Structure 1
Amino acid sequence: MADPPRQGRPPAPTFIAPPPLPPVDLPNLDINIRQLAAVTSSVFDCMRWLAEHRLITNTFSCQACDQLMRLQKREGWDYIDGYVWCCPGCQRRNSIRLNSFFEGSHLQLVQILDIVYWWCRDLRQVNVIQETGVSKKTVIDWQNYIRDICAQYVIDHPVQLGGRNRTVEIDESKFMHRKYNRGRFREGQWVLGMVEREKDNCCLIPVDDRSARTSLPIIQQHVLPGTRIITDQWAAYNALPNHASVNHSLHFVDPNDDTVHTNQIEGCWAHAKSKFRAMHGSSDDFFLTYIQEFMWRKQHKTNTFGNMLYWISFYYQF
């Protein structure tokens, strides 16, 4: 005689979002804060949205016995998400955040997602604290984690500017120093800047000094052969090929050729420094990551939120 069917609750699922998952196109994700709030209105809704967008794993295999773990409800202060992966064989448990960008945090998933969203919208830090209800220190920590994504992207994707029939403006500027003998003394940091006119793309590299020995190899690394190069009349640039310069002590545009100017790189400096001033107390220790953030934003001006989520998912592949 056949065994009678088992009674009771059905087994817990082995997934967060029902498979197959929909295709993901994060770089083109078009969502505003109201829409984001609607699709992440509950803890589980937020988990499902993150799983569908490959930001947390949708299924998990036990590392001890290789069985598919099951998603089970758990309550208590150490189960902030209310769910945990549990192996039906060895009873091993894993956080749903394991190996993800969100791992190790005691913030709710939606709070972290909101911090990422408002960082992408370039909201001032004090307003991010108000919108998310998170402490200043925690917001700063998470914004630094986001900048780490920018930094890794910039390292992995070295900027190449110019080429034939293209123009690159080059200049140097000093950041984070005291002006007009006002404020706390800071030594400051020299930055070599290169901007391609045709694409409005930039490459900013902190340098120890303004010597030709330092600057020329960096320019050769990031500016393609055949590029028309425009600079000021600093002597170190004279060795550059296909080079024109403007004497800023006399005029900002060459009176004999109105294409010879450095207006675009000067605008880049103004934009970058205005962001630094708005940060009110940026740390010297993180200066390089601030520069890398600026470059990342320059390259991802369209749909910044979707692009940041894409690179988070890329660098935290399961």
Structure 2
Amino acid sequence: MIFYSILSDHERLLQYLRDLKIIDGIRNCQQCSKTMKLSKNHAKVDKQEWRCDYCLRVESIRINSIFEKSKLSLRMQMEILYFFATDIQVFEVEKFTDISHVTVIEWYKKLRQLCKLFLEKDPISLGNAEGSVVEIDESLFGKKKGNIIKGPANRTHGFSV
């Protein structure tokens, strides 16, 4: 799979994120407005940082990106993003990545919020004609005792126009 070959090579992952404009490819210093240079720094988790040769300001390569405030490696964050996009459930992500339940939940919440903002900004329409009615339904199948679902539950989604 191409995605995992990108994740396995840190330099390739950084270039991939730059190509998609998820992280900056060029950056101007906030302090002096000069163009910053990308410098290697193996002490940093990302192994690179933005450095201004004029005023000596240093910034993370994650600045102004979805990755900015996370302590996870870019690889782990991209794995969570991939699992979210492929509709993998939180407990499965925890199992695959050894990332804590709380962290995965927070990331899924952040990604759902980004999807919401994107769709509010650029809505898509469902249906093929003006006045079409789109019904969306979600069902949970399992054995129920009282108000508690017992055993494995199967969630299904469906919509019709």
TM-score range, shorter chain: 0.7 to 0.9
Q: Are residue 119 (structure 1) and residue 84 (structure 2) matched?
A: yes
Structure 2 unmatched runs, 5+: none
Structure 1: which 4+ aligned runs deviate by more than 3 Å? Answer: 158-164, 169-175
The offset of 1:54, in angstroms, is 1.0
Superposed, 1:1-318 pairs within 5 Å as 34-76=1-43, 79-156=44-121, 157=123, 159=125, 163=129, 167-168=132-133, 181-183=146-148, 274=155
Distance in 1, matches of 2:138 and 2:80, equals 31
Distance in 2, matches of 1:103 and 1:85, equals 13
Does the C-alpha gap of structure 1 residues 169 and 150 become closer, same or farther in structure 2, counting only changes over 3 Å?
closer
Amino acid at match of 1:60: R
Judge conservation of contact 1:61–1:67 (CA < 8 Å) in 2: yes
Does the C-alpha gap of structure 1 residues 160 and 83 become closer, same or farther in structure 2, counting only changes over 3 Å?
same
Instruction: Name the TM-score, length of structure 2 as normaliser.
Output: 0.78
Greater RCO structure (CA 8 Å; 6+ sep): 1
Distance in 2, matches of 1:183 and 1:149, equals 32
Structure 1 unmatched runs, 5+: 1-33, 185-272, 277-293, 296-318
Distance in 2, matches of 1:42 and 1:180, equals 50
Judge conservation of contact 2:23–2:61 (CA < 8 Å) in 1: yes
Distance in 1, matches of 2:137 and 2:73, equals 43
Q: How many residues align?
A: 151
Judge conservation of contact 2:46–2:73 (CA < 8 Å) in 1: yes
Judge conservation of contact 1:60–1:68 (CA < 8 Å) in 2: yes
Could you say which structure has the higher strand fraction?
Answer: 2
The offset of 1:126, in angstroms, is 1.9
Does the C-alpha gap of structure 1 residues 146 and 69 become closer, same or farther in structure 2, counting only changes over 3 Å?
same
Identity of aligned residues (%): 25
Partner of 2:155, secondary structure, is helix
Q: Which residue of 2 aligns with 1:192?
A: none
Partner of 1:64, secondary structure, is coil
The offset of 1:40, in angstroms, is 2.8
Structure number with greater Rg is 1
The offset of 1:174, in angstroms, is 10
